[in-house]
């Protein structure tokens, strides 16, 4: 698996949990310590992005990447096994209790190694007035030895991706030619660096950004389509359908 896929998943989950922790309904559920309910939402977000990456061809469906949910009060041995290697690592990474507000959700996202796997843990944590710490987290993992780090002069590709605008430049080839670059070289490098063609990767990144807004904002789907350069809703709908993602079934957390 390409290391850039793992790095992107890491970034997406980090950003998603930050936005999730700020939602009004999340703050309400934290007050009642509804750990299981919040864990179900964390699980939904994790499964949504995992399936999305699999539909993009970035994750193998033969590999169980999304592993499990970790939920409960970390001070209660009946809820969480302190001897579990991931739980013990999570406890190491928890912030100092003095920095945590009572009954206030905090986004939590870490990655660590539990040989032979590289693990990613995302979700929310909070403490109550009794100084108990609760977690609603998802864990993903991947064997470290299957991660491929592409070698080559690929540093320019992310910068090029940032510059490209499919509305202003309808044809990628013409835009590349104007920069006096080789489209053949760029496509070859993109395949090695991202495991995808340049335009395909650009399109999938737009989809990921759109999903983030669908989940966490009250914008209409039409507004989201325009803000992410799909021009109009029908274009965004067709793009998502191509990758077997039903826009209508994506949860709108901001409306809960």
CATH number of the domain at 160, please.
1.10.10.60
Q: Which of 100, 123, 146 is the last residue of a domain?
A: 146
Q: In the structure, what pLDDT confidence band is assigned to residue 229 with cuts at 50, 70 and 90?
A: very high
Q: Give the C-alpha separation, 47 to 41, whole Å.
A: 10
Rounded to an integer, the average pLDDT of 81-99 is 91
Rounded Cα distance between 126 and 132, Å, is: 8
Alpha-carbon radius of gyration of the chain? 20
Q: Is 18 a residue whose pLDDT tops 80?
A: yes
- pLDDT-based confidence at 167, cuts 50/70/90? confident
Asked if residue 214 and residue 114 are part of one domain, the reply reads no
Residue 118 sits in the same domain as residue 166: no
Shared domain for 99 and 127, answered yes or no, is yes
Residue 151 lies inside a defined structural domain of this protein: no
Please check whether residues 99 and 168 belong to one and the same domain: no
Rounded to the nearest integer, the mean pLDDT of the chain is 94
| Residues 222 and 247 occupy one common structural domain | yes
Residues 82 and 9 in one domain: yes
pTM score: 0.95
pLDDT at residue 80, as a whole number: 85
**Which of 146, 172, 200 is where one domain is finished?**
146
Alpha-carbon distance values, 188 to 120, 201, 244 (Å) = 30, 13, 27
Q: How many structural domains comprise the chain?
A: 2
Q: Which domain holds residue 118?
A: 3-146
pLDDT digit string, tens, across residues 105-132? 999 999 999 999 999 999 999 999 988 9
The residues, any chain, with a CB within 8 Å of residue 214's CB and separated by 6 or more, are: 221, 224, 247, 250, 252
- Per-residue pLDDT reduced to its tens digit, 173-198: 999 999 899 999 999 999 999 999 99
Residue ending a domain, among 146, 167, 182, is 146
Same domain, 137 and 169: no
pLDDT greater than 90 at residue 75: no
Q: How confident is the model at residue 79 (pLDDT cuts 50, 70, 90)?
A: confident
* Whether the predicted pLDDT of 169 surpasses 80: no
Helices (H), 112-217: 156-163, 172-178, 183-193, 198-216
Note the helical H segments in the chain.
3-21, 24-31, 35-55, 85-93, 156-163, 172-178, 183-193, 198-216, 221-227, 233-242
For 208, half-sphere exposure in the C-beta direction (CA atoms, 13 angstrom radius) is: 25
């Amino acid at each position: 698996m390409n290391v850039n896929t793992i790095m992107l998943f890491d970034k997406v989950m980090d950003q998603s949990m930050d936005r999730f922790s700020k939602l009004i309904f999340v703050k309400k559920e934290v007050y009642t310590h509804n750990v299981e309910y919040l864990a179900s939402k964390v699980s939904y977000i994790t499964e949504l992005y995992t399936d999305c990456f699999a539909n993009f061809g970035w994750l193998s469906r033969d590999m169980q990447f999304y592993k499990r949910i970790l939920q409960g009060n970390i001070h209660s041995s009946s809820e969480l096994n302190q001897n579990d290697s991931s739980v013990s690592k999570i406890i190491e990474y928890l912030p100092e209790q003095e920095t945590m507000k009572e009954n206030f959700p905090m986004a939590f996202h870490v990655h660590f190694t539990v040989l032979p796997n590289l693990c990613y843990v995302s979700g929310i944590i909070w403490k109550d007035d009794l100084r108990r710490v609760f977690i609603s987290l998802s864990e993903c993992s991947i064997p470290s030895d299957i991660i491929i780090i592409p070698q080559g002069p690929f540093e320019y590709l992310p910068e090029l991706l940032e510059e490209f605008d499919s509305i202003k430049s309808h044809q990628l080839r013409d835009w590349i030619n104007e920069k006096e670059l080789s489209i053949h070289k760029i496509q070859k490098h993109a395949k090695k660096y991202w495991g995808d063609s340049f335009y395909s990767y650009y399109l999938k990144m737009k989809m990921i950004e759109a999903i983030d807004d669908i989940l966490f904002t009250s914008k209409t789907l039409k507004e989201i389509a325009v803000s992410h350069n799909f021009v109009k809703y029908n274009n965004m709908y067709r793009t998502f359908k191509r990758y077997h993602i039903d826009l209508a079934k994506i949860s709108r957390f901001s409306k809960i």
